[in-house]
Amino acid sequence: MAAKSLQNVVVVGGSYVGMRAAKELASILPASHRVLLIEPHSHFNHLFVFPRFAIVPNHEHKAFVPYSTLFSSAPDPAHHQVVRARVASLHPHHVTLDREWHGSRDLAFEYLVAATGTRLAAPGSMPSEDKLPSVRYLQSYQQGVAKAQSVVVVGGGAVGVQMACDLKEVYPDKDITLVHSRQQLMPVYHEGLSDLIKARFATLGINLVAGSRAVVPPAGFPNGAGEPFHVSLQDGRSVPADFAILATGQTPNNQFLRGLASPESDSALPLTDTLVNPSNGFIRVQPTLQFRDARFPHLFAVGDIADSGAHKAARPGAVQAAMVAKNIADLVAGRAPSETIAVAPAGIHLTLGLTRNVIFRNPDTAAGGTEPFVNLKDDGREDMGVEGFWERNGVAVASPKDYHL
């Protein structure tokens, strides 16, 4: 079927959940439809390994995986494409891109899945959209922490905890301090996880400064300036540092919605409450993961950007991706969407050093559970099994140099 006669189903964002949604859609949609994954990065950014590879050298180039095999398992792989661009604005039946694709910046669609997620401070996210500058950034970061004697990690979420543990194992003689605004680390989870992390910190010799928020300078911390500095806390305390790592919070990638918020696409106007939850910036959704705004039944949101009530992680996001693909297939076939989201207890696979790790899941209170599931293991690998990720995504590697592709 000629490309011009195909109906477009657009997925915006090619991280874990977006990539899964694109694959699921390509596998079940009829030949009349094609999937277009819109993603500005040259390669898939394997975010889970960024905290480790910002510290441990020689693996950083493996964190960026080609999208070349994304649709290889689809019935007709040539139907579907990755569009390297960023969505500047979303409109009811088209997106406007930040660069031309096939001679136009406007791309029409029949259905759209928003999988834009959130943005973390570097090194949780990369400053560049291209592989080579990102590899060099991680290498530079490794050199920065190697030179420092006192490293302060700001933020007691997963990235902060993992980086603190890795730093102390790789550099046991360095002074590693984690600053967190609350007494409980990773407060999304049962307090048993915080207790487990604090015990691990004590074993490794990581300093924990809790109960007050760090003051982040407008220009960022002066890493690399060659002079020691202090990380100040709002309660008046301060922590000496040669290098500070910002591992706080997530910013929703919702800017592209402004074309829906205002017919005139006035970026100065706020997003309406019908589109996003004003308390967190996430897209409001129905149980089917369709936008909750009744004007847009053909628009869906999955993963971290969706205000679904589900824990924001790749595993529940993958379930949502499969669910949305089925719902879009229902709509294409003229049926009402049949799949609805089921919110499970929050869980995480958290590294606590190069080999130490834990699988932790909150109690299933709906089923009467009161205790969390805890599986503490010591089977981790320095490279976090990154080569297996390439293999699972169908990227053939004949020699080590292929990881640089």
Assess contact for 260 and 90: CB atoms under 8 A: yes
Instruction: Please say whether the dihedral angle defined by the alpha carbons of residues 256, 342, 49 and 398, taken in this order, is positive or negative.
Output: negative
Which residues are within 8 A (CB) of 405 and not within 5 positions of it... i.e. 6 or more apart? 66
Residue 277 one-letter amino acid? N
For residue 145, the model assigns a pLDDT of 96
Say if strands 306-307 and 251-252 run parallel, antiparallel, or are unpaired: unpaired
- Token readout for 156 is 């007691």
Say if strands 150-154 and 243-246 run parallel, antiparallel, or are unpaired: parallel
How many C-beta atoms surround the C-beta of residue 374 within 10 A? Answer: 13
Assess contact for 12 and 87: CB atoms under 8 A: yes
Phi, psi torsion values for 59, nearest 5 degrees:
-125, -10
Say if strands 238-241 and 104-108 run parallel, antiparallel, or are unpaired: unpaired
pLDDT string in tens for the chain (405-residue length): 445 689 999 999 999 999 999 999 999 999 999 999 999 999 999 999 999 999 999 999 999 999 999 999 999 999 999 999 999 999 999 999 999 999 999 999 999 999 999 999 999 999 999 999 999 999 999 999 999 999 999 999 999 999 999 999 999 999 999 999 999 999 999 999 999 999 999 999 999 999 999 999 999 999 988 899 999 999 999 999 999 999 998 899 999 998 887 554 444 456 677 899 999 999 999 999 999 998 999 999 999 999 999 998 889 999 999 999 999 999 999 999 999 999 999 999 999 999 999 999 999 998 999 999 999 999 999 999 999 999 999 999 999 999 999
**Coil vs helix vs strand at 177:** strand
For residue 262, the model assigns a pLDDT of 57
Rg (CA), the chain: 22
Rounded to an integer, what distance in angstroms lies between the CA atom of residue 65 and that of residue 273?
Answer: 37
Which residues are within 8 A (CB) of 216 and not within 5 positions of it... i.e. 6 or more apart? 154, 246, 248
Cis peptide before 217 (omega within 30 of 0): no
Rounded to an integer, what distance in angstroms lies between the CA atom of residue 186 and that of residue 274?
Answer: 30
Burial of residue 166, with CB atoms counted within 10 A of its CB: 0-12 exposed, 13-18 middle, 19 or more buried = buried
Q: Which residue, 174, 236, 228, is CA-closest to 206?
A: 174
Instruction: Tell me the pTM.
Output: 0.93
SS3 of 95-106: EEEEEEECCEEE
The b/e string for 326-365 (b: 16+ C-beta within 10 A; e otherwise) is ebbbebbeeeebebebeeebbbbbbbbbbebbbebbbeee
Rounded to an integer, what distance in angstroms lies between the CA atom of residue 189 and that of residue 398?
Answer: 42
For residue 270, the model assigns a pLDDT of 61
Cis peptide before 240 (omega within 30 of 0): no
Instruction: Please say whether the dihedral angle defined by the alpha carbons of residues 151, 156, 158 and 162, taken in this order, is positive or negative.
Output: positive
- Token readout for 162 is 């993992």
